[in-house]
Amino acid sequence: MKKARKTAALALSLSFIMGVSGCSGIPFLGNKANDAVKEAITSYMDNITKAKIDKAAKSIAESDDDDEDELLFAARYDSISDSNVIDVIDAFLSTTEYEITDVEADEKKEEGSAKLKISVADLDAVAEDLDEDADIDDLIDAISECEDKVDDKIKLSLILDDDEWLIESGSDVDVADFYFNALEDTELSIGGSDFTESAIIAYVNDIFIDLRNGDFEKYMDEGASIGDMFDFTDADSEEVKDLVINFFKSYFANETHEVIVNSIDEEGKTANVTVKTEVPCANDLIAGLVHNHDVMVVVMANQLFNPDFDFDDLSGDMQILMFNGLVDAIPGAGTEQLTADCTVTVDENGEFKMGDGFSDCLFGEADESNVQYTDEEQQAIIMDALKYALDNGMISQEEYDSYVEIFSGNGGNGGNAGNGGDA
């Protein structure tokens, strides 16, 4: 009887422990899923610290976003061709210290997460202490020996794939952003003194990566070649600005290019560069927009009945309509090849800058005169534009009936169109 009572008491105790500990099981037995998640992150970070980026990439789940592929840690690292820059980055990575906390794993949902605190050498502190005549070896030593740190906290997401915990690609991009933003924001002239062909090509390649990613702000002071093109300060609203950026991101996601360094001057300050691109065809984009029935209905209605309408000074709503129409036209557009002859310069701080002429390889010129409507297309746009004008208070029912009779060409009664909503 005593044995039975002891057994019952033990069962109740285990039941209580299981209840308060939830799905994670008995606390003192640990959590194998959590441990596996922590091991996956540890392997990933250890490989980054040792600059074994190819091995680190094996800890990353496959990305479903083509645009994201170029932002992954391995893609950014592999895009660097200057050996001196790679040596500096490797030294920087080696200063990594990290802490993994708040690990959670759910094997049934095949999801996991953790918080990662990363700290690395403060490159600005390195720059302050570095002698002006320091060479690349001095720089590497200074980074490796730097005791000042900068840090950040990143939330990592993981998935369980065939019994293996993998870090989601978006989290890898966040980690890459931490390291590469620190490198880009530093006052150090990393590789700046080496105004080489490979460094110039890498600089131009980085511009296209930024364009695909919608990162235009850094080019606002680059001059007319880039800056004016991506100056959105006069946008009617944040929504319009976001749509314009979305168009450029979609546009440049369909771009390929080749960079040719023709010459570098004797002072090593200016390079003559040719950039060849293949981009969405401007004529096809305009044609796609013009043949977008829903867009042209609104445009036609405003051209006919809105006295304030100015095609050269579109309002916010019309800008939204147009840029949405252009984004919709990109998948169906062909491509055209463009060439730009431009200059790349380097200043005393080792900062590269793109000169005028670069925009010649970004956008083609559209010939709107080549866009033609069939009679059926034009008639359909006009009739639906009348309906849109009526529904949006631009014209009265009487005016609508009169215009329908005129444009239909059959002398019939336009009828009561009612207020059935926008075209």
Query: In one letter, which amino acid is 288?
Result: G
Q: Give residue 236's pLDDT.
A: 57
Range list of H helices, 253-346: 282-290, 293-305, 316-329
Nearest to 222 by CA among 242, 207, 202, 205: 207
| Separation between Cα atoms, residue 227 and residue 131, nearest integer Å | 34
Residue-level pLDDT at 261:
94
Mean pLDDT for 171-195 is: 76
Q: What is the per-residue pLDDT across 232-262, written as a single tens digit (0 to 9) for each?
A: 555 557 777 787 788 888 999 989 999 999 9
**Given this model, what pLDDT does residue 273 score?**
96
Q: At what angle do helices 375-391 and 397-408 cross, to 10 degrees?
A: 170
Position 16 pLDDT exceeds 50:
no
Identify the band that residue 414 occupies on the pLDDT scale cut at 50, 70 and 90.
very low
Residue 10 CA from chain centroid, whole number = 57
Which tens digit of pLDDT belongs to each residue from 43-83? 999 999 999 999 999 999 988 777 677 788 998 888 887 77
Largest CA-CA distance found in the chain, in angstroms, rounded: 104
pLDDT reading at 92 higher than 70: yes
Query: Which residues, at least 6 apart from 341, have a Cβ–Cβ distance to it below 8 Å?
Result: 272, 273, 274, 357, 360
pLDDT tens for 344-399 read 998 766 778 888 888 889 988 887 766 788 888 889 999 999 999 999 999 999 99
Angle 167-203-91 from CA coordinates, rounded to 5° = 55
Q: Are 257 and 208 in contact (CB under 8 A)?
A: yes
What is the predicted pLDDT for the residue at 234?
Answer: 56
* Lowest mean per-residue pLDDT among 137-146, 183-192, 286-295: 183-192
Which of the four pLDDT bands, split at 50, 70 and 90, describes residue 103?
very high
pLDDT number for residue 29: 37
Phi-psi region of 170 (alpha: psi -120 to 50; beta: other; left: phi over 0): alpha
Q: What is the mean pLDDT of the chain?
A: 81
User: Which pLDDT does position 130 carry in this prediction?
Assistant: 81
Provide the 10 A C-beta neighbour count for residue 87.
18
Given this model, what pLDDT does residue 342 score? Answer: 92
pLDDT attached to residue 63: 81
| 42: pLDDT strictly greater than 50 | yes
Spatial CA neighbour of 69 closest among 218, 176, 142, 193: 176
- CA–CA separation, 141 vs 90, rounded Å? 12
CA distances from 283 to 249, 295, 297, 371, 376 (A): 19, 17, 20, 8, 22
Q: Which amino acid is at 306?
A: N
Q: CA 167 to CA 159: how far, in whole Å?
A: 7
Provide the pairing of β-strand 256-264 with 164-167. Answer: unpaired
The pLDDT, as a whole number, for residue 171 is 92
Calpha distance 290→44 (Å, rounded): 50
Collapse the DSSP code of 208 into the 3-class scheme (helix H, G, I; strand E, B; otherwise coil) and give the result: helix
Q: Would the CA dihedral through 130, 135, 136, 142 be positive or negative?
A: negative
- Measuring CA to CA, which residue among 350, 420, 341, 346 is closest to residue 386? 420
Stretch among 116-125, 136-145, 276-285, 306-315 having the lowest mean pLDDT: 306-315
Is residue 7 pLDDT above 60, yes or no?
no
- Between 235 and 28, the more confident residue is 235
Contact indicator for 156, 165 with CB cutoff of 8 Å: no
Percent share of the chain, pLDDT over 90:
40
Q: What is the pLDDT of residues 313-323, one digit of tens each?
A: 566 677 788 88
Dist. CA 93–CA 106, nearest whole Å: 31
- Which stretch of DSSP H or E encloses residue 196? none
Tell me the Cα Rg of the chain: 30
CB atoms within 10 A of CB 3: 7
Q: What is the pTM of this model?
A: 0.50
Q: What tokens were used for 129?
A: 């202490």
Q: What is the mean pLDDT of residues 74-93?
A: 86
Q: Does residue 217 surpass a pLDDT of 60? A: yes
